[in-house]
Structure 1
């Protein structure tokens, strides 16, 4: 069936449905098509300084930290992130604010007119649409989150002012490989010669540094050039002549340390008191976000082993306060479910599994089967996150904390449940 092309007066929903059907594949690696359209629509000719942010986990929190610290100094900032939780508009921010539907519609219309017969995936449309919006608003800095890997991701068509790799771990193994060295090499593809390249991973694969040295990238490496350490009151960060102490933020300190190192490298680091104020206000949706105080409920997007290890730390803090932990897990079928469950299994007292909807959804019964091989705890099964929450919350006691996790889709359903 032929999908009718929307116009500038069509709704954003109509445009998003159209974009999902323009290309036969959800993912098509390679830069030739997306770069051709970017050149045809003159999107690569921009005055904005673009910072590419890649990594397995931590891209969103690192970008949010950079955004806050740049805005505090009076710069205008455009931020592109994916995926979104509830609304597509979450993917593009100007100075920390989402945009009206029409901004996205105008960008998509321009791209659809300018792409001629070149097919683009949904993500490629979104990336080019964000670049079009940022060029229109003439922002000083663009924070561009890399989608998948780095080397062949649509975001890598730009010439970055600097590049960042937050962490390197196993995810999207069918595209990036099944070792950290292979994944790291792909992510290092966002580096450029004689351009700052900051790496926040605490155990950097040699393929990352090897490639950086090969192309003469200006490397700044965690645990070599800059360090951070958790203290009783927060964390300490050191880089060059900087030796700062900060209170604990609501996001992983490893990502804060990486963001600070980048700004210091670029001579854009604000004063310590400004940093402290920004960190005290930082929150990122879906990252151990508290949804309810009574009963106590948290949600987290953890969906791979590395993010599950961070979630385990947060859960352990709750257990140390005397709480029992009830985990409600719902995941996508193409994720390493067994490894995620294994990472948190020894800090969870009660398990529940829920099915997600859609072509990539995993069924609760399959999660239950994995659980049965890894833990002695019994688990309940539900056909949806909403149904699970209806039943679990009706019985939850004051000494128990419910933690809902497993994917961005899971978190979105949990957040929407509290918005009903």
Structure 2
């Protein structure tokens, strides 16, 4: 049955439901379809300078850092991120702000008129819709977060001014491969000939640098071309003539250093004072975000081993301050649950597991079964969903307890919605 096509007077929710129905697959690799549609409506003919940001973790924080530093210099900036936490509008920002629904509706309507018979996935619609919005606003710079991998991701139809890889780790193994070398090769597909390629990973797979060398990309490697060091309350960054030290921002120092290097390479680095001000005010939703002070509650989107390791570092700091760490975890079924839970298990003194009622959401029964292979002797409780878990757990927390809610973007979204009730 053909679904009715929405119009410019339809709601954004109507459009999003329609987009989910157009393509039979949630993910479809390949660029030909999406590039044809983009060319048909002239989306790739733009004056904006585009920075592609790929990587397993750290794309969102690196993009937010770049956005802040560019805005502080008076540039106009369009940022595309995914997935969203609560509202679709979070995916597209103009100068740091979300847009009214009508901007998205107009973009989707333009795509629907221009795609002909070409099917597009939900993510491809979102990517092209963002490009349409950025062209409409004629922004100076576009920050595009790569969705899956790099080589065949919809964002890779553009001609980047620079390409960034934050980190390389195992995720989406069914699409990208089960080794860091395979994942790295796919992500390196966002590099271009004679174009800056900034690599933040501290142990970069040789496949990334091999590919970069083969196509003569202008690579800048963390640990070689630029260096950062973390101290107790600060971090230092060195690149060419720059040798700066800053108070630690709220994001991983590795991502901050990668963002600084990207701007330095492009001749866009602001003054030390501007950088310090930006770092002091940098907030990224869902990244060790404090939801409550009494009781103390944080939430984090950590859902793969690398992001879980970073989360563990943050939790150790709280444990060392005398806090008893409770964990509320809920994950997707296709994630490496045992590896993620193992990474954080050393700091968890009480587990609270919940199911996720969403596409690919894992049941609490299966998540509990995964705990059989996790090195932990902490007590464990089970709940049907995140909301029920919070109803039960929060009243039991005392002033020396901290709750971390993690495991998925959907988990974080549920936690944020709970506090907005």
Aligned-residue offset at 1:232: 2.4
Q: Which residue of 1 aligns with 2:26?
A: 26
Q: Give yes or no for the alignment of 1:252 onto 2:264.
A: no
Q: Which residue of 2 aligns with 1:407?
A: 408
Aligned-residue offset at 1:282: 0.2
Aligned-residue offset at 1:365: 1.5
Q: Which runs of 5+ in 1 are unaligned?
A: none
Deviations 1:230-275 (A, max 9, x none): 1123100000010000001001110000000000000000010110
Deviations 1:335-365 (A, max 9, x none): 0000000100001000010000123010112
Length-normalised TM-score, structure 1: 0.99
Deviations 1:384-404 (A, max 9, x none): 000000000111111110000
Contact 2:349 2:379 in 1 (8 A): no
SS at match of 1:347: coil
Q: Which residue of 2 aligns with 1:89?
A: 89
Q: Which runs of 5+ in 2 are unaligned?
A: none
Aligned-residue offset at 1:92: 0.2
Q: Give yes or no for the alignment of 1:377 onto 2:378.
A: yes
Aligned-residue offset at 1:368: 1.4
Q: Which residue of 1 aligns with 2:209?
A: 209
How many residues in Structure 1 have an aligned counterpart in Structure 2?
A: 420
Q: Which residue of 1 aligns with 2:333?
A: 333
- How far apart, CA to CA, are the structure 2 residues paired with 1:373 and 1:361? 20
- How far apart, CA to CA, are the structure 2 residues paired with 1:320 and 1:169? 28
**RMSD of aligned residue pairs (Cα, Å):** 0.6
Q: Give yes or no for the alignment of 1:310 onto 2:310.
A: yes
Q: Give yes or no for the alignment of 1:386 onto 2:362.
A: no
- How far apart, CA to CA, are the structure 1 residues paired with 2:159 and 2:83? 23
Deviations 1:165-208 (A, max 9, x none): 00000000000000000000000000000000000000000000
Q: Which residue of 2 aligns with 1:134?
A: 134
- How far apart, CA to CA, are the structure 2 residues paired with 1:400 and 1:198? 40
Contact 2:338 2:373 in 1 (8 A): no
Q: Which residue of 2 aligns with 1:368?
A: 368
- How far apart, CA to CA, are the structure 2 residues paired with 1:174 and 1:7? 36
- How far apart, CA to CA, are the structure 1 residues paired with 2:351 and 2:393? 11
SS at match of 1:397: coil
SS at match of 1:126: helix
Deviations 1:52-97 (A, max 9, x none): 0000000000000000000000100000000000000000000000
- How far apart, CA to CA, are the structure 1 residues paired with 2:226 and 2:215? 22
Q: How does 1:106-125 map to 2 (within 5 A)?
A: 106-125=106-125
Aligned-residue offset at 1:2: 2.1
Q: Which residue of 1 aligns with 2:231?
A: 231
- How far apart, CA to CA, are the structure 1 residues paired with 2:402 and 2:248? 22
Contact 2:234 2:246 in 1 (8 A): yes
Aligned-residue offset at 1:373: 2.9
- How far apart, CA to CA, are the structure 1 residues paired with 2:414 and 2:19? 23
Q: Give yes or no for the alignment of 1:322 onto 2:322.
A: yes
- How far apart, CA to CA, are the structure 1 residues paired with 2:188 and 2:232? 34
- How far apart, CA to CA, are the structure 1 residues paired with 2:161 and 2:212? 15
SS at match of 1:284: coil
Q: Which residue of 2 aligns with 1:347?
A: 347
- How far apart, CA to CA, are the structure 2 residues paired with 1:416 and 1:73? 34
Q: Which residue of 1 aligns with 2:79?
A: 79
